[in-house]
């Protein structure tokens, strides 16, 4: 019975689409990458830039997720082609990206809350980074909890820490398998 439930969840994870998804009895792992393209680009991308000065077209992003059976989840971010020395704020957001930067909705929160005090790196997935002198950057975040179905769908790059302005967005097949 338990095995049947697990198998169903794995299928759901695999159907989430994109990248490399591996649902196994050991958990869920996924890695996906893309090059940014502006809204309305001839060749659309899962990675959309709204501000090509901060996130240039053709800048690269990779996001990986590893979730263990117990639910502990690590999310990794790697980027290249960003503005050297610039500090970006990055979060996992609830909805897929769209032409409108607001399409990605709010942050994924482990404990859903409207209290600003719950907007923390403990209750959310933050992947802030500062690009190195070559424009590359990376970050990772680990939590004891997992995503919930349909509540984590993208990674949003904000123009700087503390800013709500969305410079770019990457639609990611996050999983919620056991």
Cβ of residue 152: shortest distance to Cu ion, in angstroms? 12
Of residues 72 and 119, the one with the C-beta less far from Cu ion: 119
Cβ of residue 164: shortest distance to Cu ion, in angstroms? 7
Task: Please say whether the beta carbons of 29 and 65 come within 8 A.
Answer: yes
Q: Using the rule CB under 5 A, is 55 a contact of Cu ion? A: no
CA nearest to 12, candidates 155, 171, 153, 175: 175
Distance CA 37, CA 143 (A): 31
- H helix or E strand, kind and range, residue 161: none
Q: What long-range pairs does 37-42 form, CB within 8 A, spacing at least 24?
A: 39/99, 40/99
Show Cβ contacts of residue 39 under 8 Å, excluding neighbours closer than 6 positions. 48, 50, 99
- Residue closest to Cu ion (Cβ): 91
- Please give the distance of CA 77 from its chain centroid, rounded to a whole number: 8
Q: Using the rule CB under 5 A, is 66 a contact of Cu ion? A: no
Query: How many CB atoms neighbour CB 104 within 10 A?
Result: 24
Of residues 21 and 109, the one with the C-beta less far from Cu ion: 109
Q: Using the rule CB under 5 A, is 156 a contact of Cu ion? A: yes
Of residues 97 and 131, the one with the C-beta less far from Cu ion: 97
Q: Using the rule CB under 5 A, is 125 a contact of Cu ion? A: no
Q: Using the rule CB under 5 A, is 48 a contact of Cu ion? A: no
Of residues 12 and 96, the one with the C-beta less far from Cu ion: 96
Cβ of residue 76: shortest distance to Cu ion, in angstroms? 17
Cβ of residue 49: shortest distance to Cu ion, in angstroms? 15
Distance CA 77, CA 155 (A): 9
Q: Using the rule CB under 5 A, is 95 a contact of Cu ion? A: no
Residues of the shown chain interacting with Cu ion in the complex, contacts defined by CB under 5 A: 91, 156
């Amino acid at each position: 019975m338990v095995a049947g439930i697990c198998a169903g969840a794995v299928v759901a994870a695999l159907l989430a689409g994109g990248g490399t998804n591996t649902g196994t009895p050991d958990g869920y792992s996924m890695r996906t990458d893309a090059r940014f393209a502006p809204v309305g680009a001839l060749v659309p991308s899962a990675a959309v830039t709204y501000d090509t000065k901060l996130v240039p077209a053709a800048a690269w992003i990779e996001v990986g997720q590893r979730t263990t059976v117990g639910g502990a989840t690590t999310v990794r971010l790697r980027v290249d082609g960003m503005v050297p020395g610039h500090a970006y704020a990055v979060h996992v957001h609830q909805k897929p990206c769209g032409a409108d930067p607001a399409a990605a909705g709010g942050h994924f929160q482990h404990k859903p809350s409207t209290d600003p005090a719950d907007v923390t790196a403990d209750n959310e997935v933050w992947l802030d980074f500062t690009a190195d002198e070559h424009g590359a950057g990376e970050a990772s975040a680990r939590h004891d909890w997992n995503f919930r179905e349909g509540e984590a769908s993208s990674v949003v790059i904000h123009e700087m820490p503390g800013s709500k302005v969305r410079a770019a967005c990457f639609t990611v097949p996050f999983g919620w398998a056991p």
